[in-house]
């Protein structure tokens, strides 16, 4: 079985191999019988992510910053703080961009930097990467009325790797309500893990809120935690009008994902993203880059 993680570079349309932190460990945890015992017994538990998060908040984690930047070619000139000003690895991890470092396109845009997969109809496209990886709205939202609202609607998932910018933004303008939390585990959201089952999204800790828009219907925005994600921090003010591209919040250390749900008949996801998803490939994306248009 091949374990390389490949994605499509949207600009060049080339197939790229992703450099993944902890690649061997992830392969062991999700594909080795002994690794699965460790995964289900320890790794998915909250206390491990909490302890690791506390370390990442401490000054002891600062030495990791320089090597991480060098290893993943992170361009620090895009961000507000200089290297010596970061107090901890987490302070670096959820670093803020300088103003105007991301252009905000027309229509519906990506809320985060990362890799995207998308489905025009979530109910008809329940397979992702391999057969058997089913995604259930009812299991994910834990609320039947809300599940029914988005039935046969469109779904987009943006996966943030540890080396990505980890603040997330609004994909459109509208009125945003209070975020609701759903308790869960701390499984990895790496494609290595997701190739086993998309049900991971229905098991992990997550939050969601609804963005009410004038022409695009109600967009459900969900932030999903993962292994070593100590917290999901919302920085927006609930029950206010927000502009497309405004910051919504950030993730503490670890891989994580943003999931967007759109009502049926409201939007059309861009063809290249849909086609790549059908081929079992993610597409790299940046905050503010167009991902869909209104119908």
Catalytic residues: 113, 169, 256
At residue 3, φ and ψ (nearest 5 deg) are: -115, 0
Classify 186 as helix, strand or coil. Answer: coil
Q: How far from the centroid of its chain's Cα atoms is residue 16's Cα?
A: 19
Instruction: Return the bridge partners of 218, or none.
Output: 212
Residues 6+ apart with CB under 8 A from 88: 56, 57, 58, 59, 61, 62
Q: How far is CA 124 from the centre of its chain?
A: 22
List of residues 6+ apart from 201 with CB closer than 8 A: 135, 140, 157, 189, 224, 257, 259
Structure tokens at 275: 């086609």
């Amino acid at each position: 079985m091949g374990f390389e993680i490949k994605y499509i570079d949207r600009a060049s349309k080339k197939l790229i191999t992703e450099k993944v932190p902890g690649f061997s460990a992830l392969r062991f945890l999700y594909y080795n019988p002994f690794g699965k015992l460790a995964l289900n017994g320890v790794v998915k538990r909250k206390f491990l992510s909490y302890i690791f998060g506390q370390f990442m908040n401490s000054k002891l984690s600062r030495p990791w910053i320089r090597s991480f930047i060098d290893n993943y070619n992170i361009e620090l000139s895009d961000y507000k703080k200089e290297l010596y000003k970061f107090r901890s690895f987490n302070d670096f991890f959820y670093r803020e961009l300088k103003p105007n470092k991301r252009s905000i396109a027309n229509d519906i845009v990506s809320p985060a930097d990362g890799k995207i997969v998308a489905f025009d109809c979530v109910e008809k496209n329940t397979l992702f990467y391999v057969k058997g990886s089913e995604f259930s709205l009812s299991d994910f939202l834990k609320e039947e009325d809300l599940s029914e609202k988005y039935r046969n609607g469109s779904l987009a998932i943006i996966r943030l790797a540890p080396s990505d910018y980890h603040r997330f933004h609004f994909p459109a303008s509208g009125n945003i309500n209070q975020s609701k939390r759903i308790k869960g585990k701390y499984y990895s959201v790496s494609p290595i893990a997701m190739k086993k089952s998309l049900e991971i999204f229905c098991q992990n800790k997550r939050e969601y809120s609804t963005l009410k828009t004038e022409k695009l219907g109600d967009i459900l925005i969900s932030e999903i935690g993962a292994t070593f994600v100590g917290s999901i921090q919302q920085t927006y003010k609930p029950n206010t009008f927000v502009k497309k591209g405004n910051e919504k919040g950030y993730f503490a250390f670890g891989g994580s994902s943003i999931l967007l749900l759109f009502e049926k008949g409201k939007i059309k996801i861009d063809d290249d993203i849909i086609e790549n998803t059908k081929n079992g490939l993610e597409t790299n994306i940046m905050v503010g880059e167009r991902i869909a248009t209104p119908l």
